[in-house]
Amino acid sequence: MIIRRNIPLKLFFFMLSAAVMMSFVPQLADARRAHTSVHRSSHTSVHRSSRTNVHRNTNVNVNRRVDVNVNHRRGRYYHPVATGVAIGATAAVTAAVIGSVVYTLPPSGCTTVIRNGISYSQCGSVWYEPRYSGNSVTYVVVNPM
């Protein structure tokens, strides 16, 4: 009987102490954890890198560059992400439309030719002018020199 009498009292003190403790840590109740599960959906269709600096850029196009890691013409390793990106661009190469841009050259059969101090890559009958598009080297299809 004595024990049972103490239960409400103990309960009261427990809840009182819980109330006091909780009131000291309100931020914990509000904090949100980042997702730690792989089960989530996303529908982003833009392939891009995350921003690597906090200083505002006046150029709106800079963060829309396709991939910064495609410089592997004589590359050491295969980059599945970059290659995935290049597929669409390579399709345009086949047609060799003047002014179209590719991210990699055909793997073989290209030679470097210098005309008027400018470096070109000649791959069969198609001529490319390499240039820096942001930090990446891209190749523009140009008229044969």
Partner 1 sequence: MRKTLITSLLLAAGLTVGSSMAFAGEQESKVKDIAVTEKELAISALDNMSEYLRSLDKFTLQGNANIDEVLANGQKVQLSRSVIIKADPPSSLWAKTSNMYSDQEFFFDGKTFTISTPELGYYASFEALATIGEVIVKARDTFNVELPLSDLFLWRANSDAAADIDEAIIVGVDQINGISCNQFAFREKDVDWQIWIQRGDTPLPLKLVITSKDEESQPQYAVVLKWNTAPALSDQSYTFTPADGDHKINFEIAEATK
Which of 53, 94, 125, 143 touches partner 1 (CB under 8 A)?
53
User: 14: burial class by Cβ within 10 Å (0-12, 13-18, 19+)?
Assistant: exposed
Which residue, 71 or 96, has its beta carbon nearer to partner 1? Answer: 71
Q: Is 116 in the site for partner 1 (CB under 8 A)?
A: no
Residues in the interface with partner 1 (CB under 8 A) total 68
Which of 32, 55, 124, 125 touches partner 1 (CB under 8 A)?
55
Within 8 A by CB and 6+ apart from 93, the residues are: 100, 102, 106, 126, 141
How far is residue 132's CA from residue 10's CA, in Å, rounded to a whole number? 74
Q: Is 135 in the site for partner 1 (CB under 8 A)?
A: yes
Q: Is 52 in the site for partner 1 (CB under 8 A)?
A: yes
7 C-beta neighbours (distance < 10 Å), count: 9
118 C-beta neighbours (distance < 10 Å), count: 12
Q: Is 23 in the site for partner 1 (CB under 8 A)?
A: yes
Which of 12, 91, 98, 144 touches partner 1 (CB under 8 A)?
12
How far is residue 48's CA from residue 51's CA, in Å, rounded to a whole number? 9
Positions in the binding site for partner 1 (CB under 8 A): 4-5, 7-9, 11-12, 15-16, 18-20, 22-24, 26, 41-63, 65, 67, 69-77, 79, 81-82, 84, 112, 114, 117-119, 129-135, 137-138
